[in-house]
Amino acid sequence: MKAGLYIVPTPIGNLEDVTLRALDVLRSADVIAAEDTRHSRRLLSHYDIATPLVSFHEHSGDGVIAGLVERIIAGQVVALISDAGTPLVSDPGYDLVQAAHAADLPVSALPGACAAITALSVAGLPTHAFYFAGFMPAKSAARRKRLLELSDIEATLILYEAPHRIVALLEDSQGVFGGEREAVLARELTKTYETIRRDRLANLTHWVASDPNQQKGEIVVLIAPHSKKTESPADPRALQLLEALSLELPPKRASQLVAQAYELNAKALYQHLLNRKNDDQ
């Protein structure tokens, strides 16, 4: 094999979800840089791979990166894996890839398992445009602010979440996108308790909040883009205020004020005003 850095995806649950080429690269590499070497040893021993492992995680300093770059310069094959799925996708690796490029070294990526893409492909939500947003901030105010920013994006949103924060994420999403918005919970993908549930955010939040089993394991949340046909933009009080303000203010300003007051999408409110005006004509 040619010297270089190889980015190698590993399974997100089912150990069989690894490509023949991935196994080949892991077997032939001089060293495997792994997030948690004990965790990865299980996968490697399942496939009888005895390649030496070195620890590489988000707190690895520049010294570790420099050491791996030196190995490649010396003609070695370095494979990068994370605990699960595709390295660099909400996982370490970005600094290492940057360093390899900066040193003009070859970098190859193998295609493979990724929870975001697996969830998207099963969700039944629009796929022509999607936006991977990773983990939301842990604190509620910051999370709502981030969700509000995301609400302007006209694409299916893909979020990762830890099980102990899933109810809070769904509640905040309902507050920002409205309870009618279609969403999907994709839990424990490829594993024994795989669960895919598609529903409106209000129902999905209620379902997850009232069943502790749905608050366990690994979870991807997908939120559909706004649908003008099936969705009213807000609760009735927000719409009443919007109507009242639009009599006194330009539609854009009225929409912004109501969006701020009710933590809603200003664009959707503005569209609501335009639709209503067209209906009136």
Strand 195-200 and strand 182-187: the pairing is antiparallel
Q: If binding is defined by CB under 6 A, does position 160 make contact with ligand SAM?
A: yes
**Selected binder of ligand SAM within 120, 184, 186, 254 (CB under 6 A):** 186
Which stretches of 62-193 are DSSP H helices?
Answer: 62-73, 94-102, 115-123, 140-150, 166-177
Two tokens at 233? 């933009």
Enter the tokens of residue 109: 């990526």
Query: What are the residues whose beta carbons fall under 8 Å from the beta carbon of 96, sequence distance 6 or more?
Result: 5, 33, 56, 65, 68, 69, 80
Is 35 a binding residue for ligand SAM by CB under 6 A? The answer is no
Give the interface size with ligand SAM as a residue count (CB under 6 A).
Answer: 24
Q: How far is the CB of 187 from ligand SAM (least distance, A)?
A: 6
Q: Which helix (H) or strand (E) holds 187?
A: strand 182-187
Tell the smallest beta-carbon distance from residue 26 to ligand SAM (Å). Answer: 16
Cβ proximity of 209 and 181 under 8 Å: no
The secondary structure of residue 55, as a DSSP letter, is E
* Nearer residue to ligand SAM within complex by CB, 90 or 215: 90
Residues 19, 51, 90, 256: which binds ligand SAM (CB under 6 A)? 90
Footprint on residues 217-236 left by ligand SAM (CB under 6 A): 218-220
Is there binding between residue 8 and ligand SAM (CB under 6 A)?
Answer: no
Q: Does 86 bind ligand SAM (CB under 6 A)?
A: yes
Tokens representing 3 are 């010297």
Does position 82 interact with ligand SAM (CB under 6 A)? The reply is yes
**Minimum CB distance to ligand SAM smaller for 12 or for 183:** 12
Contact residues toward ligand SAM (CB under 6 A) are: 12-13, 82, 84-86, 89-91, 114-116, 160-162, 186-191, 218-220
